[in-house]
Amino acid sequence: MATMSEGRRQTQPRSSSSGRETSLWSSGFGMKLEAVTPFLGKYRPFVGRCCQTCTPKSWESLFHRSITDLGFCSVILVKEENTRFRGWLVRRLCYFLWSLEQHIPPCQDAPQKIVESTRVQNLLSARVPGGAGEGQAPDLVKKEVQRILGHIQASPRPFLVRLFSWALLRFLNCLFLNVQLHKGQMKMVQKAAQAGSPLVLLSTHKTLLDGILLPFMLLSQGLGVLRVAWDSRACSPALRVLLRKLGGLFLPPEANLSLDSSEGLLARAVVQAVIEQLLVSGQPLLIFLEEPPESPGPRLSALGQAWLGFVVQAVQVGIVPDALLVPVAVTYDLVPDALCDIYNASAPLGLRTGALVVLRSLWSHWGCSRRICSRVHLAQPFSLQEYIVSARSCWGGRQTLEQLLQPIVLGQCTAVPDTEKEQEWTPITGPLLALKEEDQLLVRRLSCHVLSASVESAAVMSTAIMATLLLFKHQKGVFLSQLLGEFSWLTEEILLRGFDVGFSGQLRSLLKHSLSLLRAHVALLRIRQGDLLVVLRPGPGLTQLARLSAELLPVFLSEAVGACAVRGLLAGRVPPQGPWELQGILLLSQNELYRQILLLMHLLPQDLLLLKPCQSSYCYCQEVLDRLIQCGLLVAEETPGSRSACDTGRQRLSRKLLWKPSGDFTDSDSDDFEEAEGRYFRLSQQSHCPDFFLFLCRLLSPLLKAFAQAAAFLHQGQLPDTESGYTEQLFQFLQATAQEEGIFECADPKLAISAIWTFRDLGVLQQMPSPAGPRLHLSPTFASRENQEKLEQFIRQFICS
């Protein structure tokens, strides 16, 4: 502590310094802070409306302006009023009585209906020796179907569901301060459930707790037992048995076999029959479209796409007329360390390991105030049938990243092709391969669309705001009194951009709560005049803060892309460390800005941007430019030597105005690029602009710096190598660079994987088959040091130091 404060001499031993720090945390910072409730009484956006382009009819239904005023509730807050009984004994047994009163619909004879389904019967009759379609299938074949069905699901046990709900309620109240849910969002979902179409919840995935918390929430709101599609690789056989009895679903391993395999055909037919039976019976289904943050691999889940493919196929063949899709997002202040360790473990999670995780979580929060908060967001349901009909009109031609960017990186051309980028990192599994190519494309783009909607509707938690401020604005330390104003400012900026926050309350309580959760990464130092200095602890812990701050990136992503594009445009004109006034003198044409934005868009992974398939690159460029103007960073300038835009005396108003509406883009607007040649901008000279511009650029700096370091590592890496081996090489290089330069937020294995996959798409790395498996090779084009330096220079132009 003493070595981190220049104004304090080290006159006391370390133990005394540690004791002072502990007293600061326990005493609520030891200073009087202003107790006000900012921002929340002014404006609270209702987020989560469905896409008006793809599903306009759904956008108008299931929503009424009055539901935005219904407020929030905590789903784990169960009191005497939540039961039918009253009295002092009820107040002590309310959790148990509440679990007994939950309505669990009786389970029908689903296994027999699945075996008798047309798809399964056709396969069974085809496997009868000596006949096709006649007679009964042998007992051996029927037993095979029963075995596959037993691997997929089991009938939920009402007693076990109630017992588990009671134990989970006690566990959640020990771990969480609250689990907030908007009553208006729940009312939308309840109204959709009453419409007659089955509900399919498509969720983000932050931790294993999501698959337990969401079924508990829907059961408490009267929607019955939620069937959860789990990953069988992450669970031991004993845990799979328990989860199946609680309503879980597991994809059998035979479903991923080749298309001509009889076992694979039978397994996929049984899974399809199970999904059809669930949809016909009206049971809600939960599918995770996102891989957990701690797991290596692409963001979009291959398993989630496989399950969604079964749902799409059931609607297309008419088993059910329609299904309502509900994007879901779950956010936490901080995922408990015990839950994070689950994904780092090499062995699947078992019952014993799960019990130890629960005990560790309870022990770490026992007797202390460091309980976390959570927010569950349910977006507006939309019709799958409507999306299938309308979404196909949005499909157009696409090119690979190598076709789009490699000639520009090497200086062979300057024009950016007017087409979209094709980038698919999620592998296609057997169930998805069994669909037609057009349906595969439909499922992949629907997954991206829904995941984008879920991420955009997710609430921003207080720890994400605190981590962003400390990491990207005040790495060298900040006074707590100044942090109060910064926290309030950033929260208002989030709300004004149409995003919601997952907290409320007084500034003092919010800061104490968020800093106490981040106490492993920050230190508090008492200085003169009663103020406190908040200082980051240097080291690998900054990587955790960078992951927390990434939750804020969707809010400012458009502005961050625009700021980095402007930085790339200024890179060759003014010195990087030049004064802001000098940079503000230069005129920036709209065509140049469009080009830089497109280059950065193509470089950034699709897993980060999550652009909706119905949104073109031109629309996104216009949105980025509009955001930069709205936030005050860019100021429009008239064409040099031309008449002022407001001088309409000698020109037609409809043709010569400087601006056009940017909300409606049709084919007739294709000449906007030509008209944009006369539009110019400058950087605003307002006092807040330099700091805000730097803040926006730093939001993308961990990813861009990791890419730049990966380009610099090309001549040091040992190639050829397997993908996992080269990822480990690059990660060790990022760690070594972090130790030298102190940029620990770049030393993330997921950033290393993202850089390698981007370079593979760009044609820098090539994956070649070998007897030992696929291996990465350095492409001949980038074997020369000159082209490697061109690649690094291309990436570094977007980085603002």
pLDDT at 786: 95
Encode pLDDT of 400-431 as tens digits: 999 999 999 999 988 888 788 888 898 888 89
Q: Is 754 domain-assigned? A: yes
Encode pLDDT of 122-163 as tens digits: 777 766 554 444 444 567 777 888 899 999 998 888 889 989
Rounded distance between C-alpha atoms, residue 212 and residue 354, angstroms: 12
Quickly tell me which residue has 């479209």 as its tokens: 289
Encode pLDDT of 161-194 as tens digits: 989 988 888 888 888 888 999 998 999 999 999 8
Q: What is the CATH number of the domain that holds 507?
A: 3.30.420
Q: Is 66 domain-assigned? A: yes
Are 276 and 365 members of one domain? yes
Are 383 and 483 members of one domain? no
Question: Which pLDDT band holds residue 344 (cuts at 50, 70, 90)?
Answer: low
Encode pLDDT of 731-748 as tens digits: 999 999 998 887 888 999
Give the residue from 653, 775, 54 showing the smallest Cα distance to 393.
54
| Single residue among 370, 392, 414 that ends a domain in this structure | 392
Are 106 and 253 members of one domain? yes
Average pLDDT, stretch 290-297? Answer: 81
Rounded distance between C-alpha atoms, residue 214 and residue 540, angstroms: 33
The conformation of residue 286, written as its DSSP 8-state character, comes to E
Rounded distance between C-alpha atoms, residue 87 and residue 631, angstroms: 56
| H helices present in 477-570, as ranges | 480-496, 507-517, 542-549, 553-570
Contact criterion met (CB below 8 Å) for 509 and 567: no
Other beta carbons within 10 angstroms of residue 365's beta carbon come to 16
Average pLDDT, stretch 229-254? Answer: 91
Are 165 and 302 members of one domain? yes
- For 796, the 3-state DSSP assignment is helix
Contact criterion met (CB below 8 Å) for 76 and 180: no
Rounded distance between C-alpha atoms, residue 423 and residue 607, angstroms: 9
Are 101 and 190 members of one domain? yes
Rounded distance between C-alpha atoms, residue 641 and residue 621, angstroms: 27
Are 212 and 345 members of one domain? yes
Are 345 and 484 members of one domain? no
- For 246, the 3-state DSSP assignment is coil
| Single residue among 336, 368, 392 that ends a domain in this structure | 392
pLDDT at 340: 58
Encode pLDDT of 775-791 as tens digits: 999 999 999 999 999 99
pLDDT at 677: 59
Encode pLDDT of 650-703 as tens digits: 444 334 333 333 344 444 344 444 455 568 898 888 888 889 999 999 999 999
Q: Is 440 domain-assigned? A: no
Q: Is 210 domain-assigned? A: yes
Are 221 and 99 members of one domain? yes
When mean pLDDT is compared over 76-90, 555-569, 585-599, 682-696, the highest value belongs to: 555-569
pLDDT at 144: 85
Are 164 and 67 members of one domain? yes
Phi, psi angles (nearest 5°) of residue 505: 125, -170
In total, how many domains does the chain have? 3
Give the residue from 513, 533, 518, 520 showing the smallest Cα distance to 28.
513
Contact criterion met (CB below 8 Å) for 386 and 58: yes
Encode pLDDT of 499-513 as tens digits: 999 888 888 888 888
Other beta carbons within 10 angstroms of residue 733's beta carbon come to 18
Question: Which pLDDT band holds residue 377 (cuts at 50, 70, 90)?
Answer: very high
Q: Is 327 domain-assigned? A: yes
User: What is the chain's mean pLDDT, rounded?
Assistant: 82
For residue 493, the enclosing domain spans 458-540
Q: Is 149 domain-assigned? A: yes
| Identity at 603, one-letter amino acid code | L
Rounded distance between C-alpha atoms, residue 505 and residue 488, angstroms: 12
Rounded distance between C-alpha atoms, residue 335 and residue 106, angstroms: 35
Give the residue from 78, 524, 517 showing the smallest Cα distance to 334.
517
Contact criterion met (CB below 8 Å) for 776 and 723: yes
Q: Is 32 domain-assigned? A: no
438: which strand partners? none
Whether the pLDDT of residue 260 is over 60: the answer is yes
The whole-angstrom distance between residue 212's C-alpha and the CA centroid of its chain comes to 19
Are 365 and 495 members of one domain? no
Determine the angle formed by the axes of helices 158-175 and 210-220, rounding to 10 degrees.
110
Q: What is the CATH number of the domain that holds 717?
A: 1.10.10
Rounded distance between C-alpha atoms, residue 467 and residue 473, angstroms: 10
| Single residue among 540, 570, 587 that ends a domain in this structure | 540
Other beta carbons within 10 angstroms of residue 747's beta carbon come to 24
Of 369 and 180, the structure prediction assigns the larger pLDDT to 180
Q: Is 729 domain-assigned? A: yes
Tokens of 430: 């057997």
Percent residues over pLDDT 90 in the chain:
41
Are 81 and 181 members of one domain? yes
Are 355 and 473 members of one domain? no
Average pLDDT, stretch 230-255? Answer: 91
